[in-house]
Amino acid sequence: MKKFFLLVVLIISNGFCIAQGWEWQNPLPQGNNLTSVKFVNTDIGYSVGWAGTILHTVNGGTDWTFQCSGTMNNLNSVFFVNENVGYIVGDSGTILRTTDSGIAWEMMPPFTIQAFRSVFFIDPDTGYIVGGNWGSSGIVLKTTDGGTTWTSQVSMCSSRLNSVCFVDASTGFAAGDDGRIIKTINGGINWLLQNTGIPGDLNSVCFLNKDTGYAVGYQHYIYKTTDGGVHWTEKYHELYAENELTDIHFVTADTGYAVGWIWYGMPYLNDGQLLRTTDGGENWDVRGYLNGCELASIDFPEQSFSVVVGSVGEIAKYTVDSGFVSQSSGTHNHFYSIFFTDESTGYVVGGFKGIRKTSNGGDEWTLQPLDWGFRSIHFPDPLTGYAAGGSIVKTTDGGNTWNKILSGSSHSFYSIFFPDIFTGYAVGEDGTIMKTSDGGTTWTNQYSAVYDHLWSVYFLNSLTGYAVGYGGNIIKTSNGGTTWEIMNSGTTNFLMSVKFINQEIGYVAGWGGTILKTSDGGLTWIRQNSGTTDRLYCTFFTDAETGYAAGEYGMILKTSNGGDTWERLNSGNSITLNTIFFADENSGWAAGYDGTILHTGSGGTGSPDPIHTFGSNLIIFPNPSSEKITIEATDKGRFALLTLTGQDVLTREITEPKTVIDISTLHQGIYIVKLSGEKSIQVGKLIKN
């Protein structure tokens, strides 16, 4: 067995709390997937989720506020032993602890890159964590000193473990993939694999006493045991391949609830589902559905009502009499394009029929219903605007009314751009380019010289423009589209967005982390080091030096030197972003899937604190040290040692998995270790003797 010590990184008090610079405008309170909810009493509760999300309520789940986790890792489970002391575990070995109700969270430096899936405490001192990555063996950790040290235990389980519970100091159970359930009767000294006969993955296990317990999982299986796990009997099953139950909770010996989701066979067509039993699990009936989400966790502030959480940030209360009452607000429609005419007035379009408009900087959005959905929107002046998708519509009164205009094309459009109120271009399917010179009254089809989809178009004036698309295609016109020339992009990656600063300098973003720059009007393109291989869907520049790119997993990149280097910003979001727009150097918006709209008033960077994503793949040893340290990291990047006031005292480029660094000239004291890599910014703590 190995023992690991909690080398504390105090997220709040040392000034390294995330000041992410981006705030949620839709949905509210936020849109990251929530994975776990736990109530301390009737009023006080916590929920955690993706991208380091921690939410806190003091009024029984009606209102929720953010707490600072100090990490962008997904968080999977939360447990509080009393009003003050709580624990959170997550991906890449994340363990967080608070002793002051979440005002500050302490982070344990990583000793594994595998995921922790569930945490459970018997008392303030004794707790357990289980986990593992998909396809790996189960992990079990135990603490007997309130999380200061953790000891690994032999799980005897060849599959990932997803849930753990104890009925007393000795007897506990953990459940995981492939129907695996393990049991201990001596506080984890030994774990024995149970012969369950359960055919699918298990997501949650719940025991009422040493004998009676339940497990739920894949295909809506609910199993029950009455002999301490020796035998398990199926009590409920829905034979749909993609349905799952994710959590189970009993409020009395007879009354229990299970939550999960049901999928209807098409993307994004799923509903959260709640089942109830009133006879000790012998029979279960569906008591409610929550549209458009996957429920992940349930807890009971009181026996009479529960709070459930799930995907797309869904939070809802449930009572037998009233059913579900959502505590979240906003839409979950996908957004593809956002445009602001000033800091207050903006528009967004996407996977819904109509156009949404804001007049207060995105705090509120009003749907303007239309018969079509759109992929792109553009305003050449504050009153005149166009939106394109399966159809093209136009407004001349600032979006109060929209009228359909006939393009003469049967193809769908993915991007529209007007260099002035009369001249415009729309590009889309199969290399389609349509042009108007009279404000959309008439359109002519242009020969693009490509036959793959074009995803973005940008014009510097009525004559000079560019379009990009599939297969690495970049095309240029210098005569208003009379002819288009194929440029050599140097890549076959799909290109999704193009922007130009002036006649010479332009940028393109696309799949595979592609960012291309030209300094000669598109004749040559140089690939820049974006620091990622994830897909980028959009780019925007506020001036010649300052630009942004956004894409998968909530990624937002920023450059302040014309693209020579790119820094990943902490968006506080894990959801794909399709569009980004800035009204000026500070005020910007990013929007994407599941209704995500983010806003920054500080150019995307946190203020006043610097952004630090506390990663969990950074290992420093020996620690403390007086001469040399070895850095083990899974990511390349820039290494920096900082004082507690944030001053750099030593920097180095990390290019190998192990790097030895001489610290003998540094003064004694405590230093923050920061590794700014391709995937994340990782932070640890070093003590110099």
pLDDT confidence of residue 677: 67
Q: 250 with 369, same domain?
A: no
Domain termination site, one of 281, 309, 326 = 326
Read off the pLDDT band of 13 (50, 70, 90): very low
pLDDT confidence of residue 563: 96
**Whole-number percent of the chain with pLDDT over 90:** 79
Q: 386 with 443, same domain?
A: yes
Tokens 């993609």 belong to 242
Tell which residue, 297, 313, 251, has the closest CA to residue 277: 251
pLDDT confidence of residue 624: 81
Asked which of 56-65, 348-357, 640-649 is least confident by mean pLDDT, the reply is 640-649
Has residue 674 got a pLDDT over 90? Answer: no
Read off the pLDDT band of 110 (50, 70, 90): low
Give the residue ranges of DSSP H helices in 364-420: none
Q: 144 with 289, same domain?
A: yes
Asked which of 51-55, 365-369, 614-618, 644-648 is least confident by mean pLDDT, the reply is 614-618
Q: 184 with 273, same domain?
A: yes
More confident residue, 258 or 220: 258
| Tally of structural domains, the chain | 3
CATH classification of the domain holding 671:
2.60.40.3080
Residue 243 lies in a domain: yes
Tell which residue, 318, 287, 288, 316, has the closest CA to residue 304: 318
Tokens 């921690």 belong to 54
**Domain ranges, residue 652:** 619-688
Residue 103 lies in a domain: yes
Q: 349 with 457, same domain?
A: yes
pLDDT confidence of residue 623: 81
pLDDT confidence of residue 637: 80
More confident residue, 493 or 7: 493
Q: 266 with 290, same domain?
A: yes
Return mean pLDDT, the chain.
Answer: 91
Q: 251 with 173, same domain?
A: yes
Q: 345 with 471, same domain?
A: yes
What's the mean pLDDT in 650-670? 86
Residue 303 lies in a domain: yes
What's the mean pLDDT in 77-100? 96
Tell which residue, 79, 83, 78, 77, has the closest CA to residue 41: 83
127 touches 147 (CB < 8 A): yes
What's the mean pLDDT in 637-657? 77
pLDDT confidence of residue 9: 45
Domain termination site, one of 304, 326, 348 = 326
Has residue 76 got a pLDDT over 80? Answer: yes
pLDDT confidence of residue 7: 43
* Distance, CA of 559 to CA of 546 (rounded, Å): 5
pLDDT (tens digit, 9 = 90+) per residue, 543-584? Answer: 999 999 999 999 999 999 999 999 999 899 999 999 999 999
Has residue 239 got a pLDDT over 80? Answer: no
Q: 285 with 359, same domain?
A: no
Read off the tokens for 663.
């610290």
Domain termination site, one of 551, 572, 591 = 591
Read off the pLDDT band of 647 (50, 70, 90): low
pLDDT (tens digit, 9 = 90+) per residue, 127-181? Answer: 999 999 988 899 999 999 999 999 999 999 999 999 999 999 999 999 999 999 9
CATH classification of the domain holding 99:
2.130.10.10
Residue 612 lies in a domain: no
Tell which residue, 470, 464, 603, has the closest CA to residue 541: 603
Residue 26 lies in a domain: no
C-alpha torsion 279→281→285→286, nearest 10: 130
What's the mean pLDDT in 236-258? 90
Read off the tokens for 676.
């700014």
Residue 18 lies in a domain: no
More confident residue, 600 or 668: 600
Q: 310 with 385, same domain?
A: no
Residue 22 lies in a domain: no
* Distance, CA of 482 to CA of 180 (rounded, Å): 66
Q: 292 with 346, same domain?
A: no
Residue 441 lies in a domain: yes
Q: 107 with 154, same domain?
A: yes
What's the mean pLDDT in 617-646? 77
